[in-house]
Amino acid sequence: MTTSLFALELGASEFTVGVLMALFALLPMLLSVSAGRLIDRAGPRGPLLASFAALAAGTALPFAFPVMEILFLSTTVVGTAFMVVHIAMNSVFGAHGTPEQRAMNFSWLALGFSISNSIGPLVAGYAIEGFGHANAFFILGVFPLGALVLLGMRKSPLPRPELGVQGKRRGVIDLLHIRGLRNTFIVSLLLAMGWDLYTFLIPLYGARIGLAAGTIGVIMSTFAIATFTVRLVMPLLVRRIRQWVVITSAMAVAGTAYLMFPFVQTVPLLMALSFMLGIGLGCAQPIIMSLLYDASPPGRQGEAVGLRTSLLNGSHTLIPLGSGALSVAFGMAPVFWLLGAFLLGGAWFARLRIK
C-alpha cells in the first residue's frame, strides 16, 4: 500500500505501479525452491535473522532515498526477504506439535499474520497523512527490526521437520506428480491471487475514486480484521468441518465479493465488501498449509512450501503487470470481474475434491 501510494504521489502510472508490485515477486519466483531447500538443510534460525535484517533495510530505503528509482530496489529486497520469512515460519509451525495439531498450529500462525495485516495499513495510512510518504517507510521499517531483536534474544532452537532419508536429490517436478500436492498448489494459486491482488487493486481503486490515504488504510484494515476474526474461530472449525468444504466456501465467497466491487464507491460498502473478502480468503490459508505439509515427502516440507511460493510469485509477477495494463486500457471493472470468475471457477474445482 505504501509503495503504491508513494509511486502515485511521484507521478507513476498504474502500469508502473503494476511493475513495482511484480518486483515484490520476481526474485521469490526464482529463488523460493532454493530457499526452501536451505531451510530444510540448515534450519530456520539463520535464514530468519538475515531476512529480518533485509526487511528492515529494504523498507527504510525509500526514506533514505525518496525517489522513484529506489522503489524498484526496495520492492525487490522486501519481496525476497519476506519470501524467506514466509517459508521459514511455515516450517517452524508445521514442525511444532503432532500431525493432529497441525491445522490448528497453522491457524495460529495465520492469526498472527492477520494481526500484522490489521495494524499495517492503519499505521501506513496515517503515517503518510501525518509525516509524508518517505517517513512512513522509516516507521514501517521499525517492525522487522523489532522481530530481529526478539529472535536474536531467543536461545533455544526453533522447531524444524525431521530430515528425510538422504540420497540422490530429486527435482521439484516430482512433487507435482503427487496428487494431493498438485491439487493444493492449484487452489493455493487462485486464493493467493485473490489475496495479493487485493493489496494492488484497492489502493488504485481508492485513489481513482478520490479517497484519502487514511481512508484507504481503514478499508484495507477492515479486510485484515475480517481475516483476524475468522481465524479466531478456525482452531475450532478445523475439528468439525472437512478441509475441502472450507476451501470451496472460501473461494465462492471471495469470488462473489470481487464481482461486486466495481459497483461500489461509498466507504461503508467498500468496508463491507472488504470484510466479506477477508472472511473468505482468511479461512482458507491455514487449511492450505496443513494440506501442503501433510502431502509433502519427509524432509522436503520446506522445498514444497518453496515450490508453492515460486508458483505463486510467478503469477504475482505477471498478474500485476497484466492488471495494470488492463486497468489503463479498459478501466478497473474488468480486472475485478476476471478475478472473481477465476475464484468462482476454483470453487467448482475444490468442490470436486470433497469426499
Average pLDDT on 78-103 reads 83
**Distance in angstroms (rounded) separating the CA atoms of residues 338 and 83:** 27
In Å, what is the CA distance from 111 to each residue of 46, 145, 209, 237, 322? 24, 21, 31, 14, 31
Note whether residue 276 is domain-resident.
yes
User: What are the residues whose beta carbons fall under 8 Å from the beta carbon of 114, sequence distance 6 or more?
Assistant: 224, 225, 227, 228, 231, 282
- Helices (H) then strands (E): counts for the chain: 13, 0
Note whether residue 188 is domain-resident.
no
Query: Minimum mean pLDDT among 121-130, 160-169, 225-234: which range?
Result: 160-169
Average pLDDT on 255-266 reads 90
**Distance in angstroms (rounded) separating the CA atoms of residues 187 and 128:** 35
Give 147-206 pLDDT, tens digit per residue. Answer: 999 999 998 888 876 665 444 456 677 777 788 888 888 888 888 788 777 877 888 888
Torsion of CA 152, 225, 201, 64, to 10 degrees: -30
Note whether residue 187 is domain-resident.
no
**Distance in angstroms (rounded) separating the CA atoms of residues 156 and 186:** 37
Model pLDDT, residue 166? 47
CA diameter of the chain = 59
Measured N-to-C along each axis, helices 102-131 and 213-237 cross at an angle, to the nearest 10 degrees, of: 170
Cell of 170: 530429486
Q: What share of the chain is helix, strand, coil (3-state, %, to 5)?
A: 85, 0, 15
Note whether residue 163 is domain-resident.
no
Average pLDDT on 75-94 reads 89
Global model pTM greater than 0.85: no
Note whether residue 208 is domain-resident.
yes
Answer whether residue 302 shows pLDDT above 80: no
**Distance in angstroms (rounded) separating the CA atoms of residues 310 and 110:** 20
Note whether residue 181 is domain-resident.
no
Cell of 109: 500462525
Model pLDDT, residue 135? 93
Answer whether residue 269 shows pLDDT above 70: yes
Note whether residue 177 is domain-resident.
no
> Total domain count for the chain?
1
Domain that holds residue 281: 2-152+195-351
**Distance in angstroms (rounded) separating the CA atoms of residues 176 and 172:** 7
Between residues 71 and 166, which one has the greater pLDDT?
A: 71
Average of per-residue pLDDT values in the chain? 83
The CATH number of the domain holding residue 344 is 1.20.1250.20
Give 40-64 pLDDT, tens digit per residue. Answer: 888 889 999 999 999 999 999 999 9
Nearest C-alpha neighbor of 108 from the set 229, 223, 235: 235
Query: Minimum mean pLDDT among 9-18, 173-182, 259-268, 318-327: which range?
Result: 318-327
